[in-house]
């Protein structure tokens, strides 16, 4: 019996990789323009890091972490998200010493033990960005603008941004008590999970998607009504900065996020496109003003977000993935194979994407294969061509075929494929 992959862990096949590459390239371009630098972090961290940051009474920590002990009995975890590891590195490598606000982005796999379905996997990928060291709501607004810029550059429209403020350690406790009071006579309706953590973390019930929790929390008091003056002012500042930047965002007073470290601003980006189905959240994030200090660093207010790569990729128009046409170089007859490899190398130097086919077989069968490979052009080098000092170029889309000199080929193919794209 052959060995299969693991449920929820996907192979990203070449066609999909082309889309991913385009997203990653755009993200690097856009984020760099906003002054962010890339950071690459390990996929394994001490379990403790996630317990202390994400929170012990969250779905991620309670149910979704891949933890294991290494050979020395230390508990390690595959990272379920990128912010805690980034903050760990920020403190450990003293990245705060570099500048007042540090802007970093990352991309890579995350791991959560969830029920696999469309848009939800056990290994999934995120692109995330974090601004560390500023409390200004301008930073939140600019990060949202950056996200919107990325979507626009990828040709994605119809996304909706929802924002909320969760308050701070000064004003949230009063809200928590109020919410607990509201839920007190409705606990029977809550799912077992939320029932169990209502004492410590009643906000989780607002984020829970089970029908019981949805009805129990219906009409619950809104955290936004409990904000202290400072938090209320911050949220107002965010909304006017978003207005100024032309970023449309809707206030959703019910939205809390699935991680405990958030303070003040939280947001979620969803897509109305039917392609995503129930898993329609493509990016989410917010402020985590207390996390750096919580993890042993200096008091550092921060804002960050993460985009779900798999879900974003579903929204990218496949036709907009730039691709140079594939040119298949087909050499026929004795000695032509070697000559073909050499000519192919020169065509690549001239900027073409060329595969040299030096397989055996009839012209007909090899042309069929070129078609299956999706070649845009086939260049044929046979005995006639060698004798006449030319090459035959066949345009696989139109079927047109002509004999031309080798040095004219790059211009011909580039000209035609640009014409086709326009």
Among 79, 311, 366, 394, binds ligand ATP (CB under 6 A): 311
Which residue, 286 or 376, is less far from ligand ATP as judged by CB? 286
| Residues 49, 52: Cα–Cα separation, whole Å | 5
From 11-19, 247-255, 290-298, 302-310, give the range in contact with ligand ATP by CB under 6 A. 302-310
Other CB atoms within a 10 A radius of the CB of residue 183 amount to 21
Buried b (16+ CB within 10 A) or exposed e, 323-341: eebbbbbbbbeeebbeebe
The 248-267 site mask, x for binding ligand ATP (CB under 6 A), equals ----------x---------
DSSP β-ladder status, 123-132 and 302-308: antiparallel
Any idea which residue has 């993460």 for tokens?
306
Radius of gyration of the chain (CA): 27
Handedness of CA 362, 368, 372, 375 (dihedral sign): positive
- Asked if 57 interacts with ligand ATP (CB under 6 A), we say no
Query: Within the chain, what is the greatest distance between any pair of CA atoms?
Result: 92
Cβ contact 132:302 at 8 Å? yes
Q: Which of residues 272-301 bind ligand ATP (CB under 6 A)?
A: 279, 281-284
Positions in 125-154 near ligand ATP (CB under 6 A): 126
Token pair for 378: 């086939």
Looking only at residues 394 through 413 of this chain, which bind ligand ATP when binding is defined by CB under 6 A?
none
Closer CB to ligand ATP, 281 or 321, in the complex: 281
310 binding ligand ATP? (CB under 6 A)? yes
Q: Single out the residue of 20, 36, 106, 121 in contact with ligand ATP (rule: CB under 6 A).
A: 121
Q: How far is the CB of 105 from ligand ATP (least distance, A)?
A: 14
Contact with ligand ATP (CB under 6 A) among 51, 120, 252, 341: 120
Residue of 16, 24, 62, 114 that binds ligand ATP (CB under 6 A) = 114
* Short-list 110, 67, 80, 68, CA closest to 259: 80
Both tokens assigned to 292: 């750096």
Q: CB of 279: closest distance to ligand ATP in angstroms?
A: 6
Structure tokens at 323: 């691709």
The region of 10-18, 152-160, 307-315, 366-374 touching ligand ATP under the rule CB under 6 A is 307-315
Query: Is residue 112 near ligand ATP by the rule CB under 6 A?
Result: yes
CA angle 379, 380, 382 (to 5 degrees): 160
Taking the complex as a whole, the smallest distance from the CB of residue 112 to ligand ATP amounts, in Å, to 5
Query: Site residues (CB under 6 A) for ligand ATP?
Result: 81, 112, 114, 119-121, 124, 126, 258, 279, 281-284, 306, 308, 310-311
């Amino acid at each position: 019996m052959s060995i299969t992959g693991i449920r929820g862990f996907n192979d990203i096949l070449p066609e999909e990789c082309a889309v991913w590459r385009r997203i990653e390239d755009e993200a690097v371009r856009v984020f760099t323009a906003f002054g962010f630098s890339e950071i690459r972090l390990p996929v394994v961290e001490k379990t403790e890091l996630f317990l202390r940051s994400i929170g012990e009474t969250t779905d991620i920590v309670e149910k979704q972490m891949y933890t294991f002990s290494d050979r020395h009995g230390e508990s390690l975890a595959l990272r379920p998200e990128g912010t805690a590891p980034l903050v760990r590195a920020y403190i450990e490598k003293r990245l705060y010493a570099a500048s007042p606000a540090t802007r970093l982005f990352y991309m890579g796999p995350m791991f959560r033990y969830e029920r696999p379905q469309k848009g939800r996997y056990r290994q999934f990928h995120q692109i995330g960005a974090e601004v560390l060291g500023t409390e200004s709501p301008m930073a939140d607004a600019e990060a949202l603008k950056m996200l919107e810029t990325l979507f626009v550059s990828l040709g994605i429209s119809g996304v909706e941004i929802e924002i909320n403020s969760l308050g701070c350690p000064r004003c949230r406790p009063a809200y928590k008590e109020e919410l607990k009071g509201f839920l007190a006579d409705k606990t029977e309706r809550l799912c077992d999970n939320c029932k169990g953590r209502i004492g410590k973390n009643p906000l989780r019930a607002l984020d829970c998607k089970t029908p019981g929790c949805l009805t129990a929390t219906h009409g619950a008091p809104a955290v936004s009504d409990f904000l202290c003056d400072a938090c209320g002012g911050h949220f107002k500042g965010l909304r006017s900065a978003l207005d100024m930047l032309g970023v449309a965002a809707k206030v959703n007073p019910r939205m809390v996020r699935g991680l405990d470290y958030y303070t003040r601003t939280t947001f979620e980006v969803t897509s109305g496109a039917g392609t995503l189905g129930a898993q329609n959240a493509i990016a989410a994030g917010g402020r985590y003003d207390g996390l750096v200090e919580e993890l042993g660093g200096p008091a550092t207010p921060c804002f960050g977000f993460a985009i779900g790569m798999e879900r974003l990729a579903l929204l990218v128009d496949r036709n907009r993935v730039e691709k140079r046409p594939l040119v298949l170089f087909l050499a026929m007859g004795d000695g032509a194979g070697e000559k073909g490899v050499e000519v192919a190398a020169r065509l690549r130097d001239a900027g073409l994407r060329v595969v040299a086919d030096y397989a055996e077989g009839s012209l007909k069968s090899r042309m069929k294969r070129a078609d299956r490979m999706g070649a845009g052009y086939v260049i044929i080098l046979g005995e006639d061509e060698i004798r006449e000092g030319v090459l035959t170029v066949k345009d696989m889309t139109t079927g047109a075929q002509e004999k031309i000199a080798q040095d004219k080929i790059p211009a011909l193919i580039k000209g035609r494929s640009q014409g086709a794209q326009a």
